[in-house]
Amino acid sequence: MSAVAALRPGRSVTVKVPATTANLGPGFDTLGLALALYDELTVTVREQPGATVDVIGVGAGEVPTDESNLVVTAIAHTFAHYGLELPGLDLVARNSIPHGRGMGSSGAAIVSGIVAAKGLLEGIVDIDSTALLALATEMEGHPDNVAPALFGGLTIAWVTPEGPQHKRLMVHRGVSPLVFVPEHVMSTALARSLQPQSVPHEDAVFNVSRSALLIAALIQSPELLLAATEDKLHQNYRASAMPETNRLIALLRENGFPAVVSGAGPSILVLASDPGQRIPAAELVASASDTRWQALMLAVDFKGATVSVADALVG
pLDDT tens for 122-141 read: 999 999 999 999 999 999 99
The answer to whether 154 and 166 have CB atoms below 8 angstroms apart is: no
**Whole-angstrom Cα distance, residue 151 to residue 212?**
21
Q: Which CATH number fits domain 176-297: 3.40.50.10140, 3.30.70.890, 3.40.50.880, 3.40.309.10?
A: 3.30.70.890
- Residues of the chain within CATH 3.30.70.890 domain(s) are 176-297
Q: Establish whether 107 is an annotated binding residue.
A: yes
As annotated, the residues of the chain forming the CATH 3.30.230.10 domain(s) are 3-169+301-309
| Residue 98, marked binder | yes
pLDDT at 1: 43
Nearest to 89 by CA among 97, 79, 98, 99: 79
For 38-93, write each residue's pLDDT tens digit. Answer: 999 999 999 999 999 999 999 999 999 999 999 999 999 999 999 999 999 999 99
Is 88 labeled as ligand-binding?
no
Q: What pLDDT, on the 0 to 100 scale, is given for residue 69? A: 98
Confidence of residue 192 (pLDDT cuts 50, 70, 90): low
Decide: 19 and 103 in contact? Cβ < 8 Å.
Answer: yes
214: exposed, middle or buried (C-beta count within 10 Å: 0-12, 13-18, 19+)? buried
Identify the CATH assignment for 3-169+301-309 out of 3.30.230.10, 2.40.110.10, 3.50.50.60, 3.40.250.10.
Answer: 3.30.230.10
108 is in an annotated binding site: yes
C-beta neighbour count of 21 within 10 angstroms: 26
Rg (CA), the chain: 20
- Please list, in sequence order, all residues whose beta carbon lies within 8 angstroms of the beta carbon of residue 182, skipping any fewer than 6 positions away: 101, 244, 245, 266, 267, 291, 292, 293, 294
For residue 226, pLDDT beyond 70: yes
Confidence of residue 315 (pLDDT cuts 50, 70, 90): very low
β-strand pairing of 88-95 with 51-57: parallel
> How far is 14 from 16, CA to CA, in rounded Å?
7
Type of residue found at 206: F
Find out whether 20 and 34 touch, Cβ atoms under 8 Å.
yes
Per-residue pLDDT tens over the stretch 248-276: 999 999 999 999 999 989 999 999 999 99
Q: How many Cβ atoms sit within 10 Å of the Cβ of residue 134?
A: 18
Angle (nearest 5°) at CA 14 between 168 and 66? 110
Question: Could you tell me which residues come within 8 angstroms of residue 21 by beta carbon, excluding any fewer than 6 positions away?
Answer: 32, 33, 35, 102, 103, 104, 177, 179, 262, 263, 267, 269
* 267 in a labelled binding site: no
Query: Is residue 99 a known part of a binding site?
Result: yes
100 is an annotated ligand-binding site residue: yes
Q: What percent of the chain has pLDDT over 70?
A: 94
Q: What is the DSSP string of 97-116?
A: SPTTSSS-HHHHHHHHHHHH
Asked whether residue 186 is marked as a ligand-binding residue, the answer is no
Residue 105 assigned to a binding site: yes
Is 101 annotated as belonging to a binding site?
Answer: yes
Does 12 appear as a known binding residue?
no
- pLDDT bin (cut points 50, 70, 90) of residue 314 is very low
